[in-house]
Amino acid sequence: MSLKIYNTLSRTKEDFKTLEPGKVRMYVCGPTVYAEAHIGHAMSALVFDIVRRYLEYSGYDVNFVMNFTDVDDKIINKANELGRDPYELADQYIRQYKANLDALNIKPATKNPRATEDMPQIIEMISQLIQSGSAYEVDGDVYYDVESKPDYGKLSGRRLETMNAGARIQVDERKAHPMDFALWKTAKPGEPAWDSPWGKGRPGWHIECSAMNMAHLGEQIDIHGGGNDLIFPHHENEIAQTEALTHKPFATYWMHNGMLGLKSEKMSKSLGNMITIDDFLSEHAGDVMRLWVLNGSYRSPLTYSEEVIEQTEQAYRRLLNAKKPAQAGAAGLPEEKSAALKAAAEQARQAFRESMDDDFNTSAAMAAIFELTRNLNQARSEGATEAQILPAREAFDELTSVLGLQLEEQTSSGNAADPFIDLLVSLRRDLRAEKNWALSDKLRDELKALGVILEDNKDGTTWTWEQG
């Protein structure tokens, strides 16, 4: 099975074919840096990190570009509120966001362009759009002429004649069409501004991404990613601007992740219900957030709740158990069971690839990994030796690494006590077999007090050290 990707442009799953054999040019819209990054930013960053990692696992050389919007109305307004320099404020949040990404084990981008650093390319692109007849200047402002692009609206499925400009955009009587959007804005007093052929000003949001794409990836790219809230107008306008100059398809595949909500409502600054990445990481391992994203579908909404995170924590502990060595003095499995464990490893690899090739179906891929986890934990409890466990654990490490899960062994001093914990868990298993529930529960509670978490399932009992 070849890799298939759902393309927002065609609204179908398509076979993945790159512009250049073996190479992927991929652009993902990064944040507008005017506040601390929240878990919605993390969700999108994790989605495309997983996509990138799987493409690399599949043998592709990925040129991954993620921008920072570091000049924008929101940044300027926030800086004015705080009495801060907007450049310094943006730089602070960029550094903080990069630290967040590192804490979540998100691979650094090949390039992180900033709008302020690519201003010559932005101004040049606007000039070319004016020369081509796709844009016009009015009193120092420059607008894109949406009627110059007959297929404007093809990504979002909107028709120009039915778009309600007043719903999202303040109508400007100077514009030829209400949906014409700003490429360049005349400077206001006290705002950051750059010299241009149309006077001092700054770029509009949409032209920034188009110019940065062109500057760092070329006229055409393989994948353009971002949240589905960017489909219109941002990505629609990127297409219009870029294709007006190149007369070529801008991106072959448009990928969009679903939005994040808190239980039944959307997370937003206006509602005051934002959870920052730092807030989350102060209470949970970065792997827990990644696993939470992996257990869903990237195109679907993702709901945050304490209950969901607790369930994810439990799943995380099961994965940690899969990395444990064989029990001390393990007698070994019969040959047929040892062979079955080795076969389970190959079955997991196959199921994993089939799932990921189906539009990065991470929930099905994780199901394959959890099945391998179950087999590993069961084999260990039945006395498998380290040599018998090794093939399955190698497959486990390979697949979880592809998804960016670190699953680091605990640095707690309890590591030296692991054999004794194994012994106590084995003793408790015997007590449960004898239906001595009182003593078994007492042993469980005593272990919990020592920071050992037990999880009973149909295949036996697994344990891990409590996080934190």
Nearest-angstrom CA–CA distance, 45 and 101: 8
Q: What is the predicted pLDDT for the residue at 270?
A: 54
Of the candidates 465, 464, 458, 466, which has an alpha carbon nearest to the alpha carbon of residue 432? 458
Q: What is the pLDDT of residue 15?
A: 98
Query: Which of 196-200, 238-242, 257-261, 268-272 is predicted least confidently?
Result: 268-272
**pLDDT in the model for residue 418:** 72
**pLDDT given at position 458:** 66
- Rounded to 10°, the helix 306-322/286-294 angle is 100
Instruction: Give pLDDT tens digits for 307-329.
Output: 999 999 999 999 998 998 998 88
Residue 127 CB contacts under 8 Å (≥ 6 apart), including other chains: 197
Contact 223, 255 (CB under 8 A): yes
pLDDT tens, position by position, 248-273 = 999 999 999 999 988 656 655 555 56
Residues 4 and 357 sit within 8 Å (Cβ to Cβ): yes
pLDDT digits (tens, 9 = 90+) for 80-133: 999 999 999 999 999 999 999 999 999 999 999 999 999 999 999 999 999 999
Give the domain ranges of the chain: 4-257, 412-468
Residue 413: its pLDDT value, please?
Answer: 40
Question: How far apart are alpha carbons 368 and 312 in whole angstroms?
Answer: 16
Q: What is the pLDDT of residue 156?
A: 96
User: Is the bond leading into 334 cis (omega within 30 degrees of zero)?
Assistant: no
Tokens representing 248?
A: 């070529």
Instruction: Give the total residue count for the chain.
Output: 468
Judged against a pLDDT cut of 90, whether residue 195 lies above it is answered with: yes
Residue 415 reports pLDDT greater than 60: no
pLDDT at site 445: 86
Buried b (16+ CB within 10 A) or exposed e, 144-158: bbbebbeebbbbbeb
Share of the chain above pLDDT 90, in %: 78
pLDDT tier at 179, thresholds 50, 70, 90: very high
Judged against a pLDDT cut of 90, whether residue 427 lies above it is answered with no
Q: What is the pLDDT of residues 57-91, one digit of tens each?
A: 999 999 999 999 999 999 999 999 999 999 999 99
- pTM for this predicted structure: 0.87
Question: Which pLDDT score, from 0 to 100, does residue 461 have?
Answer: 78
**Hey, what CATH class is 4-257 in?**
alpha beta
pLDDT, tens digit (0-9, with 9 covering 90-100), for 352-362:
999 999 999 99
Q: Cα-flanking dihedrals φ and ψ of residue 252, to 5°?
A: -70, -40
Going by pLDDT thresholds of 50, 70 and 90, the confidence category of residue 166 is: very low
Read off φ and ψ for residue 467, nearest 5 degrees: -75, 150
- Residue 349, both tokens: 């690899």
More confident residue, 220 or 418: 220
